[in-house]
Amino acid sequence: HSSPQKEDNEEEDIGIILGSPTKVLSSSSPVETPVKSPAPAASASSIDNNDQEFQDETHTCHLFEGRSKYLSPSGLHFIANHQYRPSEYTHLDNLLNPFWTYLTECLPLWLAPNMVTTLGGMHCALAYGVMWYYCPDFDTTPPDWVVMLAGYCAFAYYTLDCMDGKQARRTGSSSPLGQLFDHGFDCICTLFFVATFSSYLEIGGTHWFNMLQTSLQFAFFMAQWEEYHTLVLPHNAGKWCGVTEVNYASALGAICVSLIDREAFFQKSMEDTLAPLGLTGGVVKDMELRHFLLCGWGGMSLILMGLSLKRTLCHPRIAGEDMDASEIRFNRINALSKLASPFLLCVAAFIVPPEFIRTRYLSVVLGCALSLLTKKMIVFSMAKMPYAIIQTDIFPFIFAAIWIRYDTRLTKEGGDFVFGVLSIWYAYRLLRWVNVAINQICAKLGIYCFRLKKRDD
C-alpha cells in the first residue's frame, strides 16, 4: 500500500483505471515485510532473496492452466520480493494528498490496512445492493436518494482506497498482499460503477449495457495485462487526467444527476440537446444523449486500450534492441494471446439476446467471470507465473451463451435459471480462488490478512 504522493523520499507506486493510485510498497529496499521480523515458526516460509533458484515465467507460453491454476513455490517467492513500480502522479493527486493524509491520521493504529480497503469496498456493496433493490435490471430510474447514495459511496470508496497505503506505513505493515487486496477490490467494484451508470441511463436489456460493462472491464484487464509484461501499471493519461479524476468525477456526476429529471435529460435527442447552442446535431441529431455519451465512452476506451497495446508491444521486455525479429514476433504473439480469454467472454456477452435474459444476471455472471480472470492476471504478474492462453473458467459462460442463443426450445424462464445458477457458480469460483491465494501469501509472509499481529504458526 502507499499514497499517490511521495513521502519521506520513498518511491511509491500507483493504481489503475477506476482504482486508486495508492497501492504501493516502498522501492527503497528489496523487500518490505509487514512486521518487524518474521515469526520464528514461519522460518521455512521466510522470504528468500536468492532469485537464482527461481525463474521468471511471464514470457512462457501455456495453452491451458494445468498446474499453474494456483500459486507455485516460485510464484510465492516472487510475490514476497515484489516491488510495485509507479507511473506519474496527476496534479489532483498531489493536491488531495494532504487531505488523504489528514484523514488517515484520524484512524486508530490497531486498524489493519486491508480493513481500510474492505471498508471502502463495503460502501460499493451497500450502494450496489440498494440499487439492485430499486432498479433490478437497469431499465427503470431509481429514486433520487439512491443515486445520491451511489455518488457518496463512490466518493467514500475511492477516498478510503487512497488511505489504506498510508495506514500501512503508519502501522509498519506494508506487504505485497496489500497490492493484491487493493487491486482485487478495485476489480470487483467495477460492477458498482457499471450498475450506477446503467441505472440512471436506463440501458438495461440492450446491447448498450453490454458495451458499457465489457469496455470497462476489458480496459481494466488490459491495464493489468500491461503491468504483467512491462512491470509498470498505467493509471493516468498525462498530468491532468487519471484514476483520481475519473473516480471523483463519477461520484460528483452521480450526485448532480440525482437532482435532475434523468429521463428527460438523458433520453432527449441530440438535436434538442444542441439546439440552445445553435447547432443542429448533424448525423447524430436523432441519437439520444445517453447513447451519444456511451459512444464517447466507447471511443475513449478504444483509445486507451490502443495506447496500452502500443506501450506493451513496443516495450523493451517484448521488443528489445538486443532481440532478433523471430524473438520479438514470438513475444508479441505470446503477449496478445493472453487477451484471448477475456476477449472471448466479451464477445459471448453480445451473443446472448438482451431481451431474453435478465440484465442483472448477465451482469453478475460476466462481471464475476472477468473479475476472476483479472485477479489471476494481477497475482500472476506479481508471481511472475505463466498466464495461460485459455482460461478454463470462460467455458461455462460461453457454452451458456451459445445454448441460449441457438436453442429455440429454451424459454426465458429457463434462460434466467441457467444464468442464475452461473451467478452462484462464478461467485463461488471467485471467492474460492481469492481465498486460496490470500492464504498462500499470508503463510509465505507470516502475516494475517486483517490483523497487524504477526503469525506464530
Rounded distance between C-alpha atoms, residue 399 and residue 38, angstroms: 47
**Residue 183 falls in the annotated catalytic set:** yes
Active-site pick, 1, 82, 123, 183 = 183
Catalytic residues: 183
